[in-house]
Structure 1
Amino acid sequence: MSDEQDAAERAAAGPEPPRLGPRPLERPPVDAGAASVFGRPDGVRGGFARGDQVNGGPVAGSSPAPPPPPALAGAFGRGPGDTTALQRPPDPQHNGTDPAGPDTFWNAGDVPADIDPWRNPGSAAELGPPAPAEPAAVPAPGGPGARLSVREVLFGRRVEPRALALLGIMALLIGAAGGLIGRLTADGASALTEPGATLTSVTAAKERPPGSVADIAARVVPAVVSIEIRVGDQGGTGSGIVIDPSGYVLTNNHVVAPAADAQGSDIEAIFSDGTRTPAQIVGRDPKTDLAVVKVAVSNPTVARIGSSHSLAVGDGVLAIGSPLGLAGTVTDGIVSALNRPVRLDSGETGANAVIDAIQTDAAINPGNSGGPLVDSTGAVVGINTAIRSLGQGEGGSIGLGFAIPIDDARGIAQELIRTGVVKHADLGVNTKSVTDGITDGAQVQNVVDGGPAAAAGVVEGDVIVKLDDRTIAGADELVVAVREHKPGDTVQVHLVRDGRPLTVQAVLGSD
């Protein structure tokens, strides 16, 4: 398209809208404080100084940067003879021909753009003054100091006397406050019971009057010994009571029986003061489960022998011995029953012993066997022998203990000391316990030929219901009733034969 056609089209389009020129540069005044912080140093007009080419020389307090290392200059510098600047001003022939006016970017300021070191990358870097010194670091608060001992506080002169006096006064005040609070607390506690309360009265009394459990125990325990037996690697314990100044000790047969015939067996008696001494078996009576041993001691404490016939149900008694190996154990209770026929477990003794026992609720356990049962005067009234338990084998006390009456044991012990053996009265029958719902008795199972019963006319099937004045309620009671007599005694035997009562006389023999 020709210039004429172009002009014709512009004329047909109408007048051309006015063209806006560039907005004039506004240079707001610079705050003096900001200029002092962010402005150029005095004498420097550009961002890069040219040493002595700028304002007659370098700025005070500055020094030119050292030349770059050769390796960096060779890698990043201009080639040999190359003086071309990276930024060039516009063509001088166009400078100032623009309708908008001259280019203020290149010609502003006192230094032409082509020599302004700020715009010349080839200008040397100028090092400014050294940075101001950093403020001294404030040390952090230290940890707790070393603790002082009481001696250092009082005598080390490390605490002011006034501080010590103040501490003493504070301690006194705290103590007084604590005492006052305690007094008020005690007054408040007593106020819970005192107002309007009626307290039981007390009277002065001796702590252990004569006849008390403590008094009886103190008098009897020295006469009680613990008996230990050893047979090989087996052992057992029991109890005994000193009955004679010569050192005779009464105990149970089942306590010493394992060591009676065994080779290498050993029996020791241990007194309440810890004295140990060997013991020798003097004699044994398996049918009443009694035995006597002797110890070589001088002037032992001897127990006082009482009477079991004077006992009544409800009387207080003490059981003393070594239950479960615990020597010097004292338990108290009452007499629960008298003349209780008890058949003892033969165990290793092989004897079928039956005793006419004193029953007591004083706790008796394994190890009490052979120890004394004493009354409220401190006299021995029985020898603890057996217990009744709910369990199998050895069990603990359930309030049913049995002792051999001392009146029976005294005669047997005397006979054992004199001869070493005891003979018992015998009727010459074997019986079993029976009842018809009204009357109990001992029915004769067989009669020993030539024995006392056969001579008296007792036959098999007879039911013995009484021996002298003692009622017979079973086979065991017949045994103990016969043993109350001596061989050769004549007794009245009351029996029932074919439903009819019958009484015969029998002269007791010996076993």
Structure 2
Amino acid sequence: MPARGIEQVAPPAEALSKAFGRPADADETLQRAPGEKPLAPDRDDPAFWDEGSERDPWRNPAASAVLGPPAASEDSAGERAEPDRGPLLSAREVLFGRRVSPRALAALAAVAVLLAVVGGFVGRLTAEEGNPLTNPDVTLAEVEPGDGRPAGAVAGVAKRVVPAVVSIEVRVGGQGGSGSGVVIDGNGYVLTNNHVVSMAADTPGAQVSTVFHDGTRAPARIVGRDLKTDLAVIKVEVANPTVAQLGDSDALAVGDDVIAIGSPLGLSGTVTTGIVSSVHRPVRLAGEGTDTNAVIDAIQTDAAINPGNSGGALVDGNGAVVGINSAIRTLGAGGEGGSIGLGFAIPIDDARRIAEELIRTGQVRHADLGVNAKSVSDGVADGAQVQNVQDGSSAAAAGIAEGDVIIRVGDRKVGSADELIVAVDRHQVGATVPITVVRQGRELVLDATLR
């Protein structure tokens, strides 16, 4: 057992014992006996250095270090000779070392060039077949170069007419509305729809203002309104406004190009295009929140017309105003569904006459036959059947009776009650007009003097 308090360790390795241990045959001990002196050296010379060696700077730790000259021979003290330059490496040696022969390199270059040529040829064929504009078998239509647009182009018409179309803003207390208008006179008279300004007509404190194409804003006053045709004239105090040129709506034919200009949804200066879809289309107007209850002899167009276009211009290809945009037919509830290609404008021939009377007198008198009628059809012919005749009216004086079916007023055919209204309204008060009726299966022509 190991003694208490003494730690036992493993014996050293055999290699360490051989290197640092005592020789096996040595009989000397590591300790001297008491009083024994060390052995005297058996030589007289110093063990490590000669006499005076203590002053050798290599032996003296306190000696300072001194840098000497470079370790070079006396022959090399002069200028060194420029080393010889070896041969430069070739591209082949840089890229491939010395493992590729020049013939192999030439063959690789030839293959690369051949692949590039074939790839380019195939790419060109593919591009030409996929693009008809570069296919030599396709004949392109010729286009004549020109610096300007044709005189009748939409851009040219819009440039001339847009400055004559204004935005109209109406505010009554906390409520408001907007629409469009057309400047028809140099004194600042603007033609628009009655339903655009009707809410401000009899309301104290109502404000009507116009905004021109260049951003100029000016207050306006109502000159006159006509409920039966949904037209109104307002006046703006401005200097030298751009005035629209009025055209001839009776000369329009179905298919003619037209342009609608106005401020739909508050977007001023909006231009849309279309054609005349129909003429002499009776359309009844009954605007919600207005006193409008009119039947117009409308121009139908597929030019996009939306709320806010009301009162704007319908223009022909020459830039002349041929109608006042007034209504749309829509599939949306409350007429808010937007344009579906069914827009209606008041013919400018009717609007011109109404505007002149409103500017001159502030009101308009309309010819009246003096009957109430409803639309009827017997499967062969359509007409307006008289429901009652007003006492003292033109119809009563002409001998028109209840039950008569009116089929013609003057030279215009009548196929419905609304068409009877617009046919009579096209005549002046006091004019004598032949009225064709069907009574008990017989046609009669009665002359009526309109009142």
TM-score normalized by the length of structure 2: 0.73
CA distance in 2 between partners of 1:307 and 1:449 (Å): 38
Verify: 1:490 aligned to 2:432, yes or no.
yes
3-state SS in 1 of match to 2:219: strand
Structure 1 residue 208, shift from structure 2 partner: 1.7
CA distance in 2 between partners of 1:195 and 1:37 (Å): 95
Asked if structure 1 preserves the Cα contact closer than 8 Å seen for 2:194 and 2:292, the reply is: no
Verify: 1:464 aligned to 2:406, yes or no.
yes
Verify: 1:258 aligned to 2:232, yes or no.
no
Q: Match of 2:21, as an amino acid?
A: D
Change (3 A) 1:385 1:217: same
Aligned to 2:385: 443
CA distance in 2 between partners of 1:299 and 1:206 (Å): 32
Over residues 294-338 of structure 1, what are the superposed CA-to-partner deviations in whole Å (9 max), with x where a residue is unaligned?
Answer: 111100000001010111111100000011111111011111111
Asked if structure 1 preserves the Cα contact closer than 8 Å seen for 2:198 and 2:291, the reply is: no
Aligned to 1:425: 367
Structure 1 residue 346, shift from structure 2 partner: 3.6
Over residues 193-222 of structure 1, what are the superposed CA-to-partner deviations in whole Å (9 max), with x where a residue is unaligned?
Answer: 546333413321345221100000000001
How many percent of aligned residue pairs carry the same amino acid?
62
Residue of 259, 265, 272 corresponding to 1:318:
259
Asked if structure 2 preserves the Cα contact closer than 8 Å seen for 1:225 and 1:321, the reply is: yes
Once the two structures are superposed, the pairs formed by residues 378-417 of structure 1 within 5 Å of their partners are 378-393=319-334, 394-417=336-359
Structure 1 residue 419, shift from structure 2 partner: 0.8
Change (3 A) 1:38 1:371: farther
Asked if structure 1 preserves the Cα contact closer than 8 Å seen for 2:262 and 2:271, the reply is: yes
Structure 1 residue 37, shift from structure 2 partner: 4.1
Query: How many equivalent residue pairs?
Result: 347
Structure 1 residue 354, shift from structure 2 partner: 0.3
Aligned to 1:274: 215
Residue of 353, 357, 363 corresponding to 2:294:
353
Verify: 1:335 aligned to 2:276, yes or no.
yes
Structure 1 residue 350, shift from structure 2 partner: 2.7
Aligned to 1:373: 314
Asked if structure 2 preserves the Cα contact closer than 8 Å seen for 1:346 and 1:353, the reply is: no
CA distance in 1 between partners of 2:147 and 2:255 (Å): 25
Aligned to 2:151: 210
Aligned to 2:136: 196
Structure 1 residue 236, shift from structure 2 partner: 1.2
Aligned to 1:454: 396
Verify: 1:55 aligned to 2:29, yes or no.
yes
3-state SS in 1 of match to 2:333: coil
Asked if structure 2 preserves the Cα contact closer than 8 Å seen for 1:43 and 1:55, the reply is: no
TM-score normalized by the length of structure 1: 0.64
Aligned to 1:12: none
Asked if structure 2 preserves the Cα contact closer than 8 Å seen for 1:44 and 1:55, the reply is: no
Q: Match of 1:467, as an amino acid?
A: V
Verify: 1:227 aligned to 2:206, yes or no.
no
Asked if structure 1 preserves the Cα contact closer than 8 Å seen for 2:429 and 2:450, the reply is: yes
Q: Which protein is bigger by CA-based radius of gyration?
A: 1
Structure 1 residue 455, shift from structure 2 partner: 1.1
Once the two structures are superposed, the pairs formed by residues 113-262 of structure 1 within 5 Å of their partners are 191-192=128-129, 193=131, 194=134, 196-200=136-140, 201-262=142-203
3-state SS in 2 of match to 1:426: coil
Once the two structures are superposed, the pairs formed by residues 102-113 of structure 1 within 5 Å of their partners are none
Structure 1 residue 262, shift from structure 2 partner: 1.8
CA distance in 2 between partners of 1:352 and 1:426 (Å): 16
Structure 1 residue 504, shift from structure 2 partner: 1.1
Aligned to 1:92: none
CA distance in 1 between partners of 2:399 and 2:369 (Å): 12
Structure 1 residue 502, shift from structure 2 partner: 1.4
Residue of 496, 500, 503 corresponding to 2:442:
500
Asked if structure 2 preserves the Cα contact closer than 8 Å seen for 1:335 and 1:358, the reply is: yes
Q: What stretches of structure 1 of length at least 5 have no aligned partner? A: 1-33, 46-53, 59-179
Asked if structure 2 preserves the Cα contact closer than 8 Å seen for 1:496 and 1:502, the reply is: yes
Over residues 266-308 of structure 1, what are the superposed CA-to-partner deviations in whole Å (9 max), with x where a residue is unaligned?
Answer: 1111111111111111110011000001111100000001010
Residue of 249, 268, 274 corresponding to 1:308:
249
Change (3 A) 1:198 1:37: farther
CA distance in 2 between partners of 1:324 and 1:280 (Å): 23
Over residues 457-492 of structure 1, what are the superposed CA-to-partner deviations in whole Å (9 max), with x where a residue is unaligned?
Answer: 111111111111111101000100111011111011
CA distance in 2 between partners of 1:44 and 1:430 (Å): 152
